[in-house]
C-alpha cells in the first residue's frame, strides 16, 4: 500500500465506468473526478473490498438508504471497488438489498484510483473500507480507512459532512443543529 491520501490532498483525477441502473441499455455511465466539481457539489466516495461478500451489501444498502440526505447536503455519493462494472451489475441484479441503489458503483478494474488513493490491501490488491469527503474544489476534507473486517457508520459520515459544511469549529460529540464554537 502506498501513502494514503488525506486531509488537504487533492483527490486524484479519474474517468471510470460505473453501474448506474439495472435497466437494459442504461446500466453503465462514465463518471469522472470533474463531475461533482462541475456541479459545485461535495463528493463522498466510499470503497469496499469485493462484490458478493457479507459486510459490503449492508454498508452499500445503508449508504443508498441515506442518499437523499447526502443530496440535501449538496453531495454526490459514489460507491467503489476494484471489481468490474459487469460484476457490480450482476451483484446488483442478484442481491435484493442492492436492486434499487440510488448511487453509482464505480469500477476501478485497473486499480489505478485505489492505488492513487493509497487504499489497496497489500496481498490481493483489493480496497480497504475507505471513505473520503471531498469539497467542491476537489480537496479531501476527511478520510477514513478501516480494516477489511470493520464496517462503517454511515451516520458518522453524514455528521462529519455536516460539521465540515458549517465552516465553523465543532466541539466533541457535536451533532447537526447544535451551535459551533
| Tens digit of each residue's pLDDT (9 = 90 or more) over 4-29 | 999 999 999 999 999 998 788 899 99
User: Can you tell me the distance from the alpha carbon of 129 to that of 145, in angstroms, rounded to the nearest whole number?
Assistant: 6
Q: Which of 31, 56, 78, 160 is catalytic?
A: 56
163: pLDDT confidence band, cut at 50, 70 and 90?
very high
Cβ–Cβ under 8 Å, residues 61 and 67: no
| Tens digit of each residue's pLDDT (9 = 90 or more) over 76-107 | 999 999 999 999 999 999 999 888 899 999 99
Q: Is 180 exposed, middle or buried (0-12, 13-18, 19+ CB in 10 A)?
A: exposed
Gyration radius from the chain CA atoms: 16
- What are the sequence ranges of the domains in the chain? 15-166
The CATH class of the 15-166 domain is: alpha beta
172 a catalytic residue: no
Amino acid at each position: 500500500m502506498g501513502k494514503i491520501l488525506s486531509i488537504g490532498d487533492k483527490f486524484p483525477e479519474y474517468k471510470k465506468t460505473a453501474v448506474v441502473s439495472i435497466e437494459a441499455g442504461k446500466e453503465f455511465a462514465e463518471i469522472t473526478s470533474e463531475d461533482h466539481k462541475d456541479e459545485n457539489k461535495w463528493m463522498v466516495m466510499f470503497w469496499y473490498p469485493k462484490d458478493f461478500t457479507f459486510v459490503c451489501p449492508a454498508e452499500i444498502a445503508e449508504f443508498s438508504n441515506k442518499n437523499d440526505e447526502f443530496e440535501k447536503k449538496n453531495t454526490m455519493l459514489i460507491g467503489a471497488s476494484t471489481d468490474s462494472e459487469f460484476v457490480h451489475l450482476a451483484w446488483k441484479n442478484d442481491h435484493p438489498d442492492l436492486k434499487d441503489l440510488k448511487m453509482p458503483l464505480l469500477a476501478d478494474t485497473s486499480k489505478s484510483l485505489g492505488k492513487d488513493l493509497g487504499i489497496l490491501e497489500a496481498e490481493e490488491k483489493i480496497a480497504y473500507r475507505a471513505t473520503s469527503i471531498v469539497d467542491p474544489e476537489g480537496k479531501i476534507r476527511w478520510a477514513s480507512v478501516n480494516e477489511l473486517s470493520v464496517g462503517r457508520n454511515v451516520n458518522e459520515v453524514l455528521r462529519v459532512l455536516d460539521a465540515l459544511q458549517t465552516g465553523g469549529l465543532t466541539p466533541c460529540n457535536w451533532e447537526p443543529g447544535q451551535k459551533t464554537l
